[in-house]
Structures are given as structure tokens and as C-alpha cells.
Amino acid sequence: MKVDSLAALSEKLKIKYSLNEPMALHTSFKIGGAADIFLCPESEKQLAEILKVAKENSIPCFILGKGSNLLVSDSGIEGAVISTLSMQQIILVNEDVIMAEAGASLASVCRFARDNGLTGLEFAYGIPASVGGALYMNAGAYGGDMSMVVKKATSLTGDLTSICRNTAEMNLGYRKSIYEENSEIITSVVFKLELGDKEKISEEMETIMAKRKKSQPLEFPSAGSTFKRPEGCYAAALIDECGLKGLSVGGAEVSQKHAGFVINKGRATCSDVLALIGKIKAIVKEKRSVNLETEVIHIGR
Ligand SMILES: Cc1cc2nc3c(=O)[nH]c(=O)nc-3n(C[C@H](O)[C@H](O)[C@H](O)COP(=O)(O)OP(=O)(O)OC[C@H]3O[C@@H](n4cnc5c(N)ncnc54)[C@H](O)[C@@H]3O)c2cc1C
């Protein structure tokens, strides 16, 4: 089998890995067939070793953060899925600067900032992302996004050189970044925050979390907002106005609580979700003349 070379490398370097790993275990949608090999490097060096061997053996690689914006095919992913989640160090570089490895959860960075009396990241509390995935998507909520708090980031280029980009070089826009275009792998991110009051920061984080719990169907697996925000309106409002709350295909359903979320009511397949997305798009196009663009990333065989 093609991925034998990666299994052998992992044995040699003691990198945690598994074969035929179900992706449903690693995505917030709890959907997705098996990846041929799933690897968990603990450092940039191990990551680079994996990428080198994969390249030599023409094995396709997919970089996985928290899997909270992904819809993985029922037939899985060919080649290697490399999880960043074992690279999760967070350090205070100086009084208002934090460095976090790509696999650190955004929530841990928010808590770390709060504990050090640093304000600016409160908006991100509750986005179930890894730091790398959040920068890749320029994740945002409640008036903030990553472009407002990130100062620079380190990434591995296609020829496995480690480079550092400042924010201006990242082309950060609405749910997009340069990393979508250049396939670089983010390994760490530096945040520049402001000194603030711990109590106030904490209160703001709790307020934001309470808003999320009230408005989002967090009790069901999903990948967050299914669609990007169209120009001048909200996808959820359009879907709701078209009377689509509760519309379902198999185990996939438009949430009754928040029409912008497609949820997995139990045993939903990737095909169910794709069919439901297709229906929503067609109805919204017909009734409101708007082309909805999917925010959730569909990958796999
Ligand atoms: C309940 C819920 C609420 C959500 N709320 C929000 C919200 O308020 N705002 C918002 O913006 N999003 C939200 N999301 C969506 C999701 O959390 C974000 O898109 C997040 O940024 C994805 O991060 P991740 O680590 O899960 O990335 P993944 O889903 O694992 O990957 C997403 C993409 O990033 C790439 N990627 C991941 N890590 C790296 C890396 N280190 N280097 C290069 N590429 C990488 C992957 O290859 C993939 O293409 C929500 C999702 C859920 C389930």
C-alpha cells in the first residue's frame, strides 16, 4: 500500500498514527469515511518529515485542525490526513503578545489571554477552531475576526521552507486568506492584544458564549454556518424566509433554532448533507434570486 512509507516513518520517529481512521471521529459534523492514514506530528520538524516522505511517494496530504468547517465524503479521504492538534503550545512572548502553535484550540488561546489580562480575542470565544484553521478561514464573529488580532504567522511552504508572514501579506478577507491559495501549512501564529481588565474580559467572553448557546444549535453536530454571508443580507434570514427550517434529507436537517446551520440529527451522511445543501440553494435561488455560496469545505474521495 502507498501509505506504507508514512507508517514506516511514523514508527521510526515515534509519531502517533493510525490506518483507515474514520474521519467522523475528527469532524464536528461527525460525518466522513476513513482516511488511508492519519498522523499526529508533535512538532514542525515531524510535520516537515511527514510532508517530505509524502511528496517523495506522491501521497496526497490534507491538513486537519479541529475539523469544525469540514464535510468529509462518506468514502473517506485518499492518502494522508495530518492533524495539527498535537502541536498546541501557547506562550506569552511579552506583556501583550501571545504565540500559539497551529493546533492549539482558539478557546484555550482566549482563556490564556484572559488569564494574562489581555483584551481583543473575546469575539473568538466559542468558535470551535484550532489556531491554524481559524487563520486559514479568517474566522470571525460578533464584530471581530482574526485579521484584527494576528500580527504574524509561521508556515511551511511547498518546498518545506519555514517562513514568516505579517498580517498584510496574508490577504485576509471575509472567510479567506492567502493560505487557501498557496497551500502553505500554518505552524504557529502570533497575536498582538491590548492590556485590559481581567474581570471585564471574562464577562465579555461569558456574554458571547451565552449568546451562542441561545442562538445556535450547539446540542447537535454541525459545521457552523453552512453558507457564506451574501452581499447585503444574511443566509440564515433568507433560508428562514423561504420557510426551510426543519427541511431534511436523511439525517441532515436545517436547524429549527438557526436556519443558517445544517445539523446532523443522527446518522446523517455526507450525501444527505450535500443533497440538502443543493435543495436549499435551489429554493433560495428560485424564491429570492440569491446564489448562496457554501462556507463549509467539502473534501474527500
Ligand atoms: C458550532 C460551530 C460554530 C461556529 N462558529 C463560527 C463562527 O462564529 N465564526 C467562524 O468564522 N466560524 C465558525 N465556525 C466554523 C469553524 O469553526 C471555523 O471555520 C474554523 O476556523 C475552522 O477551524 P478548524 O481548526 O476546525 O479547521 P478545519 O475545519 O480542520 O479546516 C478548515 C480548513 O483549514 C485548513 N487548515 C486547518 N489548519 C491548517 C493549518 N495549520 N495550516 C493550513 N491550513 C489549515 C484545512 O486544511 C481546511 O481547508 C463554527 C463551527 C461550528 C461547528
What is the CATH classification number for the domain harbouring 129? Answer: 3.30.465.10
Task: Name 18's bridge partners.
Answer: 38
Distance from Cα 129 to the centre of ligand 1, integer Å: 5
| Same-domain check for residues 94 and 199 | yes
Total domains in the fold of the chain: 3
| Same-domain check for residues 194 and 225 | no
Instruction: Give the burial string for 18-46 (b: 16+ CB within 10 Å, else e).
Output: eeebbbbebbbbbbbbbbbbbbbbbebeb
If you take atom 27 of ligand 1, which residue's CA is the nearest one? Answer: 133
From the list 44, 101, 122, 295, the catalytic residue is 295
Average pLDDT of span 66-92: 98
Range of the domain at 128: 90-213
| Same-domain check for residues 75 and 38 | yes
Site residues for ligand 1, CB cut-off 6 Å: 28, 62-70, 84, 102, 127-130, 132-134, 136-137, 139-141, 179, 185-186, 216, 218, 222-224, 297
Q: How far apart are CA 9 and CA 229, in angstroms?
A: 43
Single out the residue in 213, 238, 273 at which a domain terminates.
213
Single out the residue in 83, 100, 130 at which a domain terminates.
83
Average pLDDT of span 184-199: 98
| Same-domain check for residues 53 and 96 | no
The reported pLDDT for the residue numbered 272 is 98
| Same-domain check for residues 113 and 198 | yes
Per-residue pLDDT tens digits for 44-55: 999 999 999 999
| Same-domain check for residues 41 and 138 | no
The reported pLDDT for the residue numbered 1 is 53
Specify the length of the chain in residues: 301
The reported pLDDT for the residue numbered 149 is 98
| Same-domain check for residues 108 and 176 | yes
Per-residue cell: 60: 496526497
Q: Cβ of 177: how many Cβ atoms within 10 Å?
A: 24
- Averaged pLDDT score across all residues of the chain: 97
Per-residue pLDDT tens digits for 108-156: 999 999 999 999 999 999 999 999 999 999 999 999 999 999 999 999 9
pTM of the model: 0.97
If you take atom 10 of ligand 1, which residue's CA is the nearest one? Answer: 139
The domain that holds 30 is classified in CATH as 3.30.43.10
Question: How far does Cα 177 stand from its chain's mean position?
Answer: 13
Instruction: Give the burial string for 165-175 (b: 16+ CB within 10 Å, else e).
Output: bebeebbbeeb
Question: How far does Cα 51 stand from its chain's mean position?
Answer: 20
The reported pLDDT for the residue numbered 142 is 96
Q: How far apart are CA 5 and CA 154, in angstroms?
A: 27
The reported pLDDT for the residue numbered 102 is 98
Single out the residue in 194, 213, 232 at which a domain terminates.
213
Whether the predicted pLDDT of 92 surpasses 90 = yes
The domain that holds 229 is classified in CATH as 3.90.78.10
The reply to whether 295 belongs to the active site is yes
The reply to whether 165 belongs to the active site is no
Residues 6 or more apart in contact with residue 189 via CB below 8 angstroms = 99, 100, 102, 131, 132, 135, 150, 152, 153, 154
| Same-domain check for residues 194 and 255 | no
Specify whether the backbone of 285 is left (phi greater than 0), alpha (psi in -120 to 50) or beta: alpha
